[in-house]
A and B are shown apart, each in its own frame.
Chain A
Amino acid sequence: MKHSRFLILAAIVLLFALPAILSHSLVNAVNQMLIAALFACAFNLLCGQAGMLSFGHAAYFGIGAFATLHAMGIMGQESLLPTPLLPLAGACVGFLSGLAAGWFSTKRTGVYFSMITLALAELLHTMAPHLRSLFGGEAGLSGMRYPALGLTFGSDIHVYYLTLVWVLGAIGLQYYITLTPYGRLVLALRENSHRLSFLGYNVHHLGTLTFALSAMLTGIAGGLQAISIEASNYAIFDMHLSSEVVLNTYIGGVNVFLGPILGAAVMTFFGNAASDLTRNWLLYKGIIFVLVMMFMPTGIAGLVMMLTANLRKYSALLLWPVLLLSCIATFLLTMGTVFTVEMMQRILSQDYQMLAQMSDGGEWPPVQLFGRQWLPGSLISWGLPVVLFVAGGYFVKLAKNRWRVLQEASSDQSSETDSIHNLGEMTTESEHELNEREKA
């Protein structure tokens, strides 16, 4: 606990120091990461903590963005709020729309809940281009940041600090909420809403309030986005954004508070870095997501927790061979996949197919990849990924064997329960809480 608190503090200090270290474009990237992190965190209040999977959170993000733009003043109108307070508009409108949408959607649970959120978001998405005064039609709206409090908000650095303060504040607020009795009730809502209603709580009101709070925080994220790019159009309501936040949150891990923040930051950074390098980055993103779903259901945060738990359990000396082997295996398999995909993309591209047709049945011209020429007909070009995959598979097997030996050796020493199952912990916690209330 001490460690993690120290780490978080260090991370915050680092975030404040970043503009002094990084270049402008990187500061912009971090800005995007922060916004995505807040969005995922707000989404997780509903999805991870209250157990309601929403498929239309882009709606509240977009509403927040447009509300902020309207408050900012469109096309030279007077700004309603000083620039640093603009996200408040997103928060208020987000909260109100969340209250309305939440009232309807939390009447149902499970898949039906997801479907209602999806329907509401799509309703907005299909109507937005026609509501010209609100969303500016197909072209969208654009505004301008006005100087306030002696700051011009003209440079990226000012915007970065504005975003940072708001994101930290909003995430801090949400963390505080989870500690309050209300926050505990939200967890109980996920674990057993029937029991909660038998205890005399109004489950519908609770769900609505949680939905509204989540929409409010999402609205702040949307507002920050609008401030940083000073424009927005109806494409923000697209299903794509709703799905992205789901992906980010689950890749990060829904059961840990910091998980979605981590996931969103990592995936946004990955998106920024990879989209510069390759056109197939969405494919890689999809593959990562599916792998996480299949083999790491607790996400990155779950992986980190498993690692720390195991470090406590076994000595580092015993554990490092397993870690090293898994890292090598991951590296080899990743290399194999990337090589295959990039090679395929280059060979299948239109330009190359034209070249190949010109060669008239002769040998196809070589492909430039990773600083080397590869002949599509040669053995090396296709043998290399095969070798990588086989070697990767071999290392996976080695790591698995090592791990089994380690577990068998320690199983007779202690049978301490893993703290991977944070979910279980939370359950017992909330049950404990309920039991206490029942007694009272």
Chain B
Amino acid sequence: MEYFTISLLNGTVYGLLLFMVSAGLTLIFGMMGVLNFAHTSFYMLGAYFAYTLQKYISFWPSIILATVLAGGGGIVVERYFLRRVHRYGHAHELLLTFGLSYIIAELIKLFYGNYPTNYRVPESLHFSAFQIFGTDYPVYRLLMGGISLGMFLLVYLLLSRTRVGIVVRSAIYRPRMAEALGHNVPLVFMGVFGVGAALAGLAGAVAGAFYTTNPNMALELGVIVFVVVVVGGLGSLEGAMLASLIIGLSSSFAVGIDLSLVDLFAFFGAGEWAQGLGGLMELKVSSLSATIPFALMLIILLVRPSGLLGEKG
């Protein structure tokens, strides 16, 4: 029971964090058809900006400023880089973001060194929310989850209830038609790219303090965010939320399960035969926790390529 509750809590918070990063990515993909490889770079930039700003201003203002700066970075990338290569096609856009992620990671290494920084949760937030099975549960985890949920609500309401949301959704759905109706679609693109980058930056600023802030954090999260976006359905915000939670929970639960295929076969009385086969049979679920998301992604891509909640296929 203890294992179950703790895994559930941690998995949910991790999933919510994944959602914060992947929300922007899925919106950007839905709109421009570009898989933005540099997206997690904004997550990393957010963390480093917040870390740097904390030396001068207090925690919350620096988080807000880091978010704005990351968003500004996104706008610059869209306006001065992506738009230039748009005419060469999607492959070039994707590869450009890929090159940019390379440069951002190397610049971070140049400025901050190739080692983790000591970006930490401030003392004022370093207390436990409640006790569970005799261990303290840090309030900061709950805070991260809360910020993510708040963000989901905000973006969701913005997209579904406001006029700006209607324009954005129409630009996603039929960019040419929206343009013909007199909306400035490139501006919308830039705005969404900026907001997406800002969301990733916010996630980085908040999560960087709790997890580690190092020059590899973009790379580590990069692939898993793609998994979320693909599983949830490219372009679907709700899908991203669902997929984030699934992946967060599955990887959180898998770590503690000490079973393998051998045990499954043993249940049917063929344990020794399976043991003899070795290899795949003996792999423990816990050691596969990094593999599960990719297996899930593969299955989704083959069975339902538009994702769990995606519309475009």
Contact (Cβ within 8 A) A108 B305? yes
Contact (Cβ within 8 A) A297 B106? no
Q: Which parts of A195-245 form the interface with B (CB within 8 Å)?
A: 239, 243
Contact (Cβ within 8 A) B35 A111? yes
Binds B, one of A24-32, A179-187, A278-286: A278-286
Binds B, one of A118-126, A306-314, A381-389, A432-440: A118-126
Contact (Cβ within 8 A) B110 A280? yes
Contact (Cβ within 8 A) B81 A294? yes
Interface membership of A290, Cβ < 8 A: yes
Interface membership of A320, Cβ < 8 A: no
Residues in A neighbouring B219, C-beta threshold 8 A:
239
Residues in A neighbouring B99, C-beta threshold 8 A:
247, 286, 289-290, 293
Interface membership of A130, Cβ < 8 A: yes
Interface membership of B159, Cβ < 8 A: no
Q: CB-CB contacts of A340-377 with B at 8 A, as 1s and 0s?
A: 01001100111000000000000000000000000000
Contact (Cβ within 8 A) B301 A119? yes
Q: How far is the CA of A112 from the CA of B297 in the complex (A)?
A: 11
User: Given that A246-B98, A282-B102, A294-B96 are contacting pairs, would A116 and B298 also be in contact in the complex, using a CB cutoff of 8 Å?
Assistant: yes
Q: Which parts of B143-157 form the interface with A (CB within 8 Å)?
A: none
Q: Which parts of A263-291 form the interface with B (CB within 8 Å)?
A: 280, 282-283, 285-287, 289-290
Contact (Cβ within 8 A) B227 A119? yes
Interface membership of B279, Cβ < 8 A: yes
* Shortest CB distance A395–B (Å): 21
Contact (Cβ within 8 A) A116 B35? no
Contact (Cβ within 8 A) A290 B291? no
Q: How far is the CA of A303 from the CA of B110 in the complex (A)?
A: 31
Interface of B is mostly: helix
Contact (Cβ within 8 A) B302 A104? yes
Contact (Cβ within 8 A) A341 B298? no
Residues in B neighbouring A286, C-beta threshold 8 A:
99-100, 102-103, 106
Q: Which parts of A88-123 form the interface with B (CB within 8 Å)?
A: 104, 107-108, 110-112, 114-116, 118-120, 122-123
Q: Which parts of B88-133 form the interface with A (CB within 8 Å)?
A: 88, 90-92, 94-96, 98-100, 102-103, 106-107, 109-111, 113
Contact (Cβ within 8 A) B95 A130? no
User: Given that A283-B110, A285-B102, A290-B81 are contacting pairs, would A118 and B302 also be in contact in the complex, using a CB cutoff of 8 Å?
Assistant: no
User: Given that A118-B226, A123-B298, A293-B95 are contacting pairs, would A344 and B279 also be in contact in the complex, using a CB cutoff of 8 Å?
Assistant: no
Residues in A neighbouring B103, C-beta threshold 8 A:
283, 286-287, 290
Q: Which parts of B274-308 form the interface with A (CB within 8 Å)?
A: 278-280, 283, 287-288, 290-291, 294-295, 297-298, 301-302, 305
A130 (CB) vs chain B CBs: closest residue: B287
Q: How far is the CA of A340 from the CA of B226 in the complex (A)?
A: 35
User: Given that A118-B226, A294-B81, A350-B113 are contacting pairs, would A123 and B287 also be in contact in the complex, using a CB cutoff of 8 Å?
Assistant: no
A108 (CB) vs chain B CBs: closest residue: B305
Residues in A neighbouring B278, C-beta threshold 8 A:
133
Contact (Cβ within 8 A) B92 A297? yes
Interface membership of B223, Cβ < 8 A: yes
Q: How far is the CA of A262 from the CA of B256 in the complex (A)?
A: 49
Residues of A near any B CB (own CB < 8 A): 53, 104, 107-108, 110-112, 114-116, 118-120, 122-123, 126-127, 130-131, 133-134, 239, 243, 246-247, 250, 280, 282-283, 285-287, 289-290, 293-294, 297, 341, 344-345, 348-350
Q: List 21 A-B contacts (CB under 8 A).
A: A108-B305, A115-B230, A119-B230, A119-B297, A120-B298, A122-B294, A123-B294, A126-B290, A130-B288, A131-B280, A243-B98, A247-B99, A283-B109, A287-B103, A289-B95, A290-B103, A294-B84, A297-B88, A297-B92, A344-B110, A348-B113
